[in-house]
Structures are given as structure tokens and as C-alpha cells.
Amino acid sequence: MLKVLQLIPSLDRSGAEKQMVLLATKLPRDRFAVEVATLSRSGSFEAELRSAGIPVTAISKRFRIDPFALRRLTRFLRANQFDVVQTWLFAASAYGRVAAHLAQVPVVVVAEMAVDLWKGNLERAIDRRLARWCDRVVGNSNAVVDFYRELGVPNDRLAMIYSGADDEPPVIDRTRVRAELGIDLAAPLILFAGRLAEQKCVGDLLKALDLLHHVQPDARSLIVGDGPLREPLEEIACLYRLEDHVQFLGHRDDVPALLAAADVLVLPSAYEGLPNVVLEAMRFRKPVVATAAPGTTEVVVDGVTGLLVPVGDPPRLTRALRDVIRDPALAARMGAAGRDRVENHFRVDAMVDQFAQLYESIHRSKTAR
């Protein structure tokens, strides 16, 4: 049995955290003893992990550069003698690879979840240098793998494993959810869920919703999430006089309920990895209107499971939303096709099985030397 640690910055409810929890809770218990450690802080996923019998340890990094946290993490790895450490997101991957190298952990795997165009020269240099101290950098889409290949990670250290979605969505009363939100059952409802940061291009979405209001005045929209741009985005919505049409809900732990209540998911991002919220929407048989961003194009099939538009083109985004809203039969066909696509290509059990085989194959090859 292999002892596996999943290391992640926090346990907030977001895409990477969701995939980590799915993997940690579904790895076969007869082959793996799994623990989780948070580099910076906990979050709402901790209760789910503990209820599944998975220990959670806080490293408590307090500063951007925190040598004391690195020392605590290294001691934790040495004391627990993990066979495999898997890291998620930049901070945990940087600290985790250094600590695992110092603690002589046999197998180190890095999960990369986005085409990280935000990374500057320093972050890219760190990734290139630390690639020597891990066995695989695993992208959750071909676009992510291509990004890290171009960054300089050697081919023999790259792998691709698609993110997975739960098999069956919960049954949710969309009438109740809409009533709680004060939205009429007959109103077309658009949902955005994600971090309110530059990558997501929510400003473009607000421009599109302003245009949509003139041709589809009964449409309503929910913007779910928080981030550094929330206040300026709310100010823009006021300038567009969208207060009666767009609700900013902030961070929510009930995105599945909101998906059940919505008619269409919209994702206007400049780049992604393999967007978890799209998988969730397709699981709920919802059509998706999105930009043709790296990563998104690997899950949304244009004209089949949703509609893709160019990045940074609010008028095209408006037309796509209008077309889906005004054609319920089209929306239903796309929703059904999306659910089929998730079941055929993005099953969580396939994701878990591929990671399990990766851990075991690398461990066998290294211990056989």
C-alpha cells in the first residue's frame, strides 16, 4: 500500500480543490493511504475530507516567502514517510517540490490545472527549475500540457489526465431555488460561476448582458464568485443599469443548486485548463456558452454541447446567449449531448484510475533500481 499526500494551498470551494477532493476520497483504500495537507489555510472542503476518514494537516504558511513553513512541511514529510506527494496550484507546487526533495520523497507529482498565462518570468523560471524535482507534471488538458512543454518542462516529465465529474448530480428543486433568489420561474436565467479576476473576463460578460437586455429584457443573470475585481464589476453593472437584471452573489457553496436553477452557463474566460464548472453544468444537462479559450475547447463542442465565441467579443457572446435562450429545443439537445460527453470522456473514476496507475508505475520503476 502506498502512502499518498495531497498538498494544496487551501480547501476553498473552487475547481482545483474540487478535483483534489474527488481524487483523495475515491482512490482505492486497499491500495492507497491518503492524507491531505493545506499549505496556507483550510476551507469548507475539510469537513468532507474528514467525514471520508482522510486526515487533514495545516502547514500554516503566513507569508509569501515563508522559510518556517517550508521547514515545517519538510519535517512533516520526513516524519510521515510518504511514498507519493502530489501538489496542486503554484504555491503548493513550489513549496511542495522543494520540501519533498529535502525529505527524499520517492514520487512527486504536480497537478497543473490551467494555461497559466498570468505567470511572469519569475514564476516560469521557478517552474522550469523545479521540474527537475518532480517525476511528472500532469496537465488536466492538452492545452495545459502544451503550455508547460513550451515553458521548458521535458516531454518525459509531462502527462495529461482529464479532470473528472461526479457520476450523478443531486436532485434539486429548481423552483425552490429560484423562489429564494426572487427570480420568476419563466425568466431565462444565465449563470456565471468563477473567480472575479482578469482571467475570467467578466467585464466582457457585463457588456454582453447590457446588449442582451435590449433584445431579451426578461433575462436574468447570476454572477457567483469573489475576487479582486468584484467591486469594480459591480460598479460597471450599475453604470449599465443592470441592477434589476444581474445579481452578484459572492462566494457560494451551493453552485450545484444554482446550476439546477439556471438555463445556461456562460464562461467568457481568456484562458482555462479544463473548467470544472463546465463539467458540472454539462452534468446537469445545461448548455454552455463560452469563449474558445485554451482548455475550454477540449470540453465544449461548438454547436453540439454549447456555443463557442471568440475571446473578447461581447456582441458575439450576446448573440450566442440569445440564440440558446430563444430556442429551448436547441438548449435541451445541447444539454443532453453535454451529459453524454461527460459520461464518455470525463468520468471521475477514469481520472482516479489514471492517477492511481501513474503513482504505482513510477513507484515501481524507482524502487526497482
Indicate the SS3 state at residue 121: helix
Q: Counting beta carbons within 10 angstroms of the beta carbon of residue 315, is it exposed (0 to 12), middle (13 to 18) or buried (19 or more)?
A: exposed
Residues 6 and 152 grouped into a single domain = yes
The pLDDT tens digits of the residues spanning 169-228 come to 778 899 999 999 999 999 999 999 999 999 999 999 999 999 999 999 999 999 999 999
Q: Counting beta carbons within 10 angstroms of the beta carbon of residue 174, is it exposed (0 to 12), middle (13 to 18) or buried (19 or more)?
A: middle
Residues 298 and 243 grouped into a single domain = yes
What pLDDT is stored for residue 166 in this prediction? 79
Among 109-113, 271-275, 306-310, the range scoring the smallest mean pLDDT is: 271-275
Please give the tally of structural domains in the chain: 2
Q: Is 284 within the bounds of a domain?
A: yes
**366 CB neighbour count, 10 Å cutoff:** 12
Contact present, 305 and 332 (Cβ < 8 Å): no
Residues 139 and 266 grouped into a single domain = no
The pLDDT tens digits of the residues spanning 274-310 come to 999 999 999 999 999 999 999 999 999 999 999 999 9
Q: Is 369 within the bounds of a domain?
A: no
Q: Is 338 within the bounds of a domain?
A: yes
Residues 195 and 61 grouped into a single domain = no
- Whether residue 91 is predicted with pLDDT greater than 70 in this model: the reply is yes
Q: Is 100 within the bounds of a domain?
A: yes
d(CA 113, CA 144): 7
The pLDDT tens digits of the residues spanning 35-64 come to 999 999 999 999 999 999 999 999 999 999
Contact present, 315 and 211 (Cβ < 8 Å): yes
Residues 144 and 27 grouped into a single domain = yes
Within 86-229, where are the H helices?
90-103, 121-130, 142-151, 174-181, 202-215
Residues in the chain: 369
Residues 90 and 187 grouped into a single domain = no
- Whether residue 369 is predicted with pLDDT greater than 90 in this model: the reply is no
Residues 28 and 127 grouped into a single domain = yes
Q: Is 368 within the bounds of a domain?
A: no
Which of 260, 299, 7 is closest to 164 using CA atoms?
299
**293 CB neighbour count, 10 Å cutoff:** 24
Tell me the Ramachandran region of residue 165: left when phi exceeds 0, alpha when psi lies from -120 to 50, beta otherwise: beta
**161 CB neighbour count, 10 Å cutoff:** 24
Residues 189 and 327 grouped into a single domain = yes
DSSP letters for 243-255: TTTEEEEES-S-H
Q: Is 293 within the bounds of a domain?
A: yes
Residues 184 and 57 grouped into a single domain = no
Residues 179 and 328 grouped into a single domain = yes
For residue 28, give the CATH number of its domain. 3.40.50.2000
Exposure string over 109-136, b if 16+ CB within 10 A, otherwise e: bbbbbbbbeebeeeeeebbeebbebbbb
Residues 283 and 140 grouped into a single domain = no
What is this structure's pTM? Answer: 0.90
Q: Is 169 within the bounds of a domain?
A: no
For 43, the domain range is 2-164+347-363
Residues 144 and 252 grouped into a single domain = no
Which of 6, 30, 28 is closest to 18 using CA atoms?
6
Q: Is 186 within the bounds of a domain?
A: yes
